[in-house]
Amino acid sequence: MEYCPKCGSELESKLEGGRDRPACPAEGCGFIHFGNFSIGAGAVVIRDGKALLIQRGIEPNRGAWQLPGGYIESDEEIIAGVEREVLEEAGIKARVSDVVGFRHAPGRGDGQANIYVVFRLDHIEGEPQHDGVETLGAGFFSLDEMEEMDKVQTLSTWSIQRALISIRESGLRPDLNREGVNMPGRGWSLFGLNI
């Protein structure tokens, strides 16, 4: 990044937060580039002891089986985003109940850092569907069935195992929704890791 995205001035280096960062020298602008970040979300949807998986129809990893999920838009709440992804990729209406875990992938060089949050969602309605383009398959599978399938993503298997353990240890019924705490006036929700 060479120019300020706010005012167009040429950026200079400025010590901010213990690091040299591209910053705008223009008076009154104040832009500092803290890096490129993306947020993704995945969904563990359990129904009758089986978890929802989709088969990727696009690269990278075309043909692999994984949790439904994807990138969250910059103007979208993460909860709405993961629920949208489940509906788009698998035709399932589901509601977020809690957090299973997260993965952080730091950016390398000019790469983009990513936080990927995995949620457990309660199945509301619908049968798995795929569009033949973004997804080649969709269905509910047991862990035993997944062991027999080719190319099941490791993060997906781990997340499903953690969600099932959480349900079993807490005595929760997977059809009972547990909401995050909405923070009034702040535009965000707080979830605890229940593992």
Indicate whether 189 pLDDT > 70: no
* Ordered structural domains, the chain, with CATH: 1-34 (2.20.70), 37-174 (3.90.79.10)
Indicate whether 94 pLDDT > 80: yes
Indicate whether 72 pLDDT > 50: yes
Judge residue 40's burial from the number of C-beta atoms within 10 Å of its C-beta, 0-12 exposed, 13-18 middle, 19 or more buried. Answer: buried
CB count within 10 Å of CB 69 equals 24
pTM above 0.85, yes or no: no
Per the document, the length of the chain is: 195
CB count within 10 Å of CB 109 equals 4
Q: Give the N- to C-terminal CA distance of the chain in Å, as an integer.
A: 40
CB 77 within 8 A of CB 115: no
User: Can the peptide bond before residue 22 be classed as cis, meaning omega within 30 degrees of 0?
Assistant: no
Provide the 3-class DSSP secondary structure of residue 170. Answer: helix
d(CA 42, CA 100): 10
CB 93 within 8 A of CB 126: yes
11-66 residue pLDDT tens: 999 998 888 999 999 999 999 998 888 999 999 999 999 999 999 999 989 999 99
Phi-psi region of 86 (alpha: psi -120 to 50; beta: other; left: phi over 0): alpha
Tokens found for residue 99? 């957090």
For residue 178, the model assigns a pLDDT of 42
